[in-house]
Structure 1
Amino acid sequence: MSTVFDSPESAELAFYEAVERADLTAMKSVWAGTRNAVCIHPGSQPIKGEKSILQSWESIFAGGPEMHFRVQILEKTLTEDLAIHLVAEYIRLSGEAEERAPVYATNIYRRCQGGWRMVLHHASPTPERRQHTRQPIH
């Protein structure tokens, strides 16, 4: 039986805990039963469908260092059956002393028969801060 998430926040917490633990079973419970799900990892193409999304996470879990997250919610939108969270993900990799520059992510959750489920995770690196120089006006 799949885990029931009674709120988008509980599904989101489970998502980040699954990533931190590299736990594919827990990750599956977050995406379980979602139709037309999409996941976009930083710098990658959209991955569509629950099976392909879980395969991508399995690959990340098998080949990468342990990740630790501090998530800051920047914006929330909630309707009866849809929640949109814009977050800043501050990631520290195992063995690193400090967090990296934040990654912006949009997480969308839909209320399903089995509670709230993730239907979209789109993560993108923050743009580099550029020095603004004044251009001469001619």
Structure 2
Amino acid sequence: MSNAVDRAQLMEANAEFYAAFEEGDLDRMAAVWADGPYAAGVTCVHPGWSLLRGRDEVLRSWALIMANTSYIQFVLTEVETDVYGDQAVVTCKENILTADEGTEAGFLAGGSIVASNVFVRSGGEWRLLLHHGSPILNGTEEE
């Protein structure tokens, strides 16, 4: 398989992760994550959370987050991809807009997070093995 095809499929898998979250679709989210022999190693660090390990624990966290998120939208910037055979890494900046129904405007910019997404190729498809998101604190970015 060509490197360009690998990268295109990787970018599609990465986009599907964010689309599943935006849509609040737990079935789509479950389809993104690795399973089978990789299930025990599935790992997620949500910003501000402790490390979650194991597919079931990670998917429970997404169910909780989705149940408590009325609206979220991601604009990804600074996206970089690296493919190493059947493993790949996507790093990016998640620029987030979320709904805050408690405000007069109804929307609140959610800020920015740097994310690392590690994928494995399983059954010919890229599946997410690790997602790690870390908030970017105001004033800490290089100008």
User: TM-score, normalized by length of structure 1?
Assistant: 0.82
Question: How far apart in 1 are the matches of 2:126 and 2:52?
Answer: 20
Identify which of 63, 87, 101 aligns with 2:111.
Answer: 101
Contact 1:20 1:68 in 2 (8 A): yes
Gaps of 5+ in 1: 1-5, 131-138
Q: CA RMSD in A?
A: 1.7
Question: How far apart in 2 are the matches of 1:121 and 1:29?
Answer: 15
Find out whether 1:63 has 2:68 as its counterpart.
yes
Q: By percentage of residues, which structure has more strand?
A: 2
Residue 43 of structure 1 aligns to a residue in which SS?
coil
**Matching residue's letter, 2:31:** S
Q: C-alpha displacement at 1:129, in angstroms?
A: 1.0
Q: By percentage of residues, which structure has more helix?
A: 2
Residue 75 of structure 1 aligns to a residue in which SS?
strand
**Matching residue's letter, 1:72:** T
Task: Look up the match of 1:27.
Answer: 29
**Percent identity between the two aligned chains:** 31
Gaps of 5+ in 2: 1-7, 100-105
Rg larger in structure: 1
Give the structure, 1 or 2, with the largest relative contact order (CA under 8 Å, sep 6 or more): 1
Identify which of 7, 10, 26 aligns with 2:9.
Answer: 7
User: TM-score, normalized by length of structure 2?
Assistant: 0.79
Aligned length: 124
Runs of 4+ in 1 over 6 A off after TM superposition: none
